[in-house]
Amino acid sequence: MDLPIPTPNADTRPYWDAAQQGRLVLQHCSACGAVQAVPRSYCGACHSNALIWRESNRRGVIASFSIVHRGPTSAFRDHLPYVLALVDMTEGVRLMLNVIGTDRLDTQIGDPVEIVFEPRGAEGFKMPQAQRSRV
């Protein structure tokens, strides 16, 4: 069974379209300068709709993580254990991502990571994931 993939909506479509191209984009408010991780039609800080998408440098640091030994559905059975992490991006937002790679179980708070894209499902829908940096 394949892992779940998101269903893009009007607010999230630019984010997922960029991900399919191997790019991570974040919303920036032209009115107040805030950056937001959760795509929406207005700025969470000032409520302006003057939002633009900017490409991220795809770098961050592990702020917290959990090693999951029991997935939420049977689709996760073949992917256990997996590492779910909060990643503080250099742009100032926090993303929740899986940490992938053969060394994922060695994850520590403070580890530098880069965002990579992992294909899922028959169509290879690209999901952003964190990978520990070798820097």
pLDDT per position as a tens digit, 42-74: 999 999 999 999 999 999 999 999 999 999 988
* Residue 22 in domain: yes
Q: What is the pTM of this model?
A: 0.93
* Residue 57 in domain: yes
Q: What is the spatial distance between Cα 40 and Cα 25, in angstroms, rounded to a whole number? A: 13
Residue 87 has pLDDT above 80, yes or no: yes
Number of domains in the chain: 1
* Residue 2 in domain: no
Task: Please report which residue ranges of 10-53 form alpha helices under DSSP H.
Answer: 13-20
Q: CA dihedral defined by 11, 90, 47, 45, rounded to 10 degrees?
A: 140
The CATH number that applies at residue 120 is: 2.40.50.840
Q: What is the pLDDT of residue 1?
A: 66
Residue pair 59/113 in contact by the 8 Å Cβ criterion:
yes
- Tell me the per-residue pLDDT of 97-131, one tens digit each, with 9 for 90 and over: 999 999 999 999 999 999 999 999 889 999 999 99
The range of the structural domain enclosing residue 100 comes to: 13-132
* Residue 3 in domain: no
Task: Please report which residue ranges of 7-121 form alpha helices under DSSP H.
Answer: 13-20
